[in-house]
Amino acid sequence: MKHFKLLFIIFAIISSIGLAQEITPTSSTSSIFVNVKGMVCDFCARGLEKGFGKRNEVENINIDMSNNLITINLKADATLDDETITELVKSNGISVEHINRQL
């Protein structure tokens, strides 16, 4: 009986580890929300699309001119730091107001 209990506990632990591995995704995507200043015309925004589109980390970006918002959708497991984002925005003649991240 004692052996059965021990075996049962070991089996339960191994099963839960296995299940945990099945449930937890091996990759995750994320979006970065960048509020900007000076994005008042399509040409301004188009430069941002081209600039971010060249980055390997970026899946795509969405431009919302009404809310002065750029949404950067990253590829799975990719990251992009604030400094790089700020530099890319600034190189297109636009200013960053703040950056928010969401998983």
Q: Which residues bind other proteins (CB under 8 A)?
A: 36-38, 40-48, 50-51, 63-66, 68, 91-95, 97
- The nearer residue to other proteins, 81 or 97, going by C-beta atoms, is 97
Which residue, 32 or 89, has its beta carbon nearer to other proteins? 89
Output 15 or 84, the one with its CB closest to other proteins: 84
Measured from the CB atom, the residue of 4 and 43 that comes closer to other proteins is: 43
Distance separating alpha carbons of residues 93 and 50, to the nearest angstrom: 13
User: Least distance to other proteins from the beta carbon of 54, Å?
Assistant: 9
Kindly report the length of the chain: 103
Question: In angstroms, what CA-CA distances link 51 with 17, 77, 91, 98?
Answer: 43, 20, 9, 19
Extract the tokens encoding 43.
Answer: 């040409």
Burial of 1 (0-12, 13-18, 19+ CB in 10 A): exposed
Q: How far is the CB of 29 from other proteins (least distance, A)?
A: 23
Least CB distance to other proteins at residue 81 (A): 20
